[in-house]
Amino acid sequence: MRITVSGPPGSGTTSLAKYLVKRHDFSLISAGGEVFRGLAAERNMELAAFGRLAEEDISVDRMIDARQKEIGEARDDIIIEGGRLRGGI
């Protein structure tokens, strides 16, 4: 099973995702965590600089979506969590 949880910052997406992971013993992938950091590292960018780029360039949201989809399709029993700059997953 694959579940996505999305919402604006502060809306409780991380709390809900962590609860579901614990309750169902699923893996967790976080857009704001490992995916965002991984994309910054791949581009040899500091996290703050990549964050500024993400605020200005909607293609960063698309990169995050694509990476989360790639990870999610490769695994079962996963929660994919992340607030977005411009909407849901």
Instruction: Give, for all 89 residues of the chain, the pLDDT tens digit.
Output: 999 898 877 888 889 999 999 999 999 988 778 889 999 999 999 999 999 999 999 999 889 888 888 988 998 999 998 755 544 44
- pLDDT, residue 8, reads 79
- pLDDT, residue 78, reads 93
Question: Beta strand pairing status for 2-5 and 27-30?
Answer: unpaired
How far lies 3's CA from each of 54, 83, 88, in Å? Answer: 24, 14, 13
Residue 23 lies in a domain: yes
- pLDDT, residue 89, reads 43
Containing structural domain, residue 76: 2-81
Amino acid at 32: G
Report yes or no: 20 and 3 within 8 Å, Cβ to Cβ.
yes
How many distinct structural domains can be found in the chain? 1
- pLDDT, residue 82, reads 78
**Structural tokens at position 84:** 């977005």
Radius of gyration of the chain (CA): 13
Residue 86 lies in a domain: no
Residue 66 lies in a domain: yes
Residue 46 lies in a domain: yes
Residue 8 lies in a domain: yes
Residue 88 lies in a domain: no
Residue 11 lies in a domain: yes
> How many degrees, rounded to 5, is the angle at CA 4 between CA 53 and CA 62?
30
